[in-house]
A and B are shown apart, each in its own frame.
Chain A
Amino acid sequence: QSALTQPASVSGSPGQSITISCTGPSSDVGGYNYVSWYQQHPGKAPKLMIYDVSNRPSGVSNRFSGSKSGNTASLTISGLQAEDEADYYCSSYTSSSTVFGGGTKLTVL
C-alpha cells in the first residue's frame, strides 16, 4: 500500500494551534474510523496520541485532538509548547493491515 500523505513540516509559535493533515484513499482513511496518531521524539519509540480518529489515551494532554472528514484525518495541537516539537505520524487500518503516513516534523518556533 502507498503511504498516507502528510505535510513534511509544520511550525508554530508557543501558544498557537497547528493542524496536521493525513490523506489517504477510501480503502483506508476514508473507509474506517481506525486512524491513529503517534508522536516521536528523536531517538525514541513512537507514542500513541490519538486513536480511532478522535480518542485520547489516558495521560495524553487534551491539547491534542483528532478529527476526520472524508478521506482526510487531522491532528490539531492547541496551546503549542516546546515539548510538542517532534515528528508526528498518522496510521490507518486497511484490509487487515496497517499503513502509515510519511510523517510531519513539527517545529515550535
Chain B
Amino acid sequence: QVQLVQSGAEVKKPGASVKVSCKASGYTFTSYYMHWVRQAPGQGLEWMGWINPNSGGTNYAQKFQGRVTMTRDTSISTAYMELNSLRSDDTAVYYCARVSSSGWFSDYWGQGTLVTVSS
C-alpha cells in the first residue's frame, strides 16, 4: 500500500533552516510528482511547490522562491523540503503529497511534520 512517512517535529530558532523528509513506499517513487503543502495553526492549506522525482525538476510558489529547496534521493525513495531563513510565521505543519498520475490532484498525503519557529 502507498505510504508517505515524514520526519518528526522540529523546533528551530528564527533565521535557521529546516529540512523535512518524506519517505515513499508502495509505489515507484520516480513515477509521481510530489507536492509540498503547509498549514499554519488554525489556517488553511498553502501550496509551496512540487518536485519531479524522476528528473529532480522543481516549481516553487512565488512566495517561497529563494527560500525553499526541494530535492530527492531516488536510492531511498525520499523527498526533501528545506526552508531557510525561518521566521515565526513559518510555524506550521508541513505535508508532502503525491500527485496522481492521472490528474493534477494529491491522492496520498504524509502524516505532516510540525515545524515550530521560536526564539
Is the CB of A64 closer than 8 A to any CB of chain B? no
A97 at the interface (CB under 8 A from B): yes
A38 to B45, CA, bound (A): 10
Residues 34-72 of chain B: 1 if any A CB is under 8 Å from the residue's CB, otherwise 0?
Answer: 010100000011110110000000010110000000000
Q: Verify A34–B105 contact, CB threshold 8 A.
A: yes
Q: How far is the CB of A95 from chain B (nearest CB, A)?
A: 9
Q: How long is the Cα–Cα vector from A91 to B47 in the complex, in angstroms?
A: 10
B118 partner residues in chain A, CB cutoff 8 A: none
Q: How far is the CA of A23 from the CA of B45 in the complex (A)?
A: 16
Bound together, the chains give a CA A53 to CA B47 distance in angstroms of 19
User: Are A91 and B105 touching (Cβ within 8 A)?
Assistant: yes
In the complex, which of the residues B49, B62, B103, B111 contacts A45, with contact meaning CB atoms closer than 8 Å?
B111
Q: How many residues of A contact B (CB 8 A)?
A: 25
- The chain B residue with its CB closest to the CB of A3 is B44
Question: Are A103 and B106 in touch, CB under 8 angstroms?
Answer: no
* Bound CA–CA A102/B39 (angstroms): 11
Whether A100 and B47, one on each chain, are in contact in the complex, defined by CB atoms closer than 8 angstroms, is yes
Interface residue ranges of A40-72 to B (CB < 8 Å): 40, 45-48, 51-52, 57
Q: Return the 3 tightest CB-CB contacts between A and B, nearest first.
A: A36-B105, A93-B104, A103-B44
- What are 12 inter-chain pairs, A to B, with CB distance below 8 A? A32-B104, A34-B103, A36-B106, A46-B37, A48-B105, A48-B107, A89-B44, A89-B45, A96-B59, A98-B104, A99-B47, A100-B37
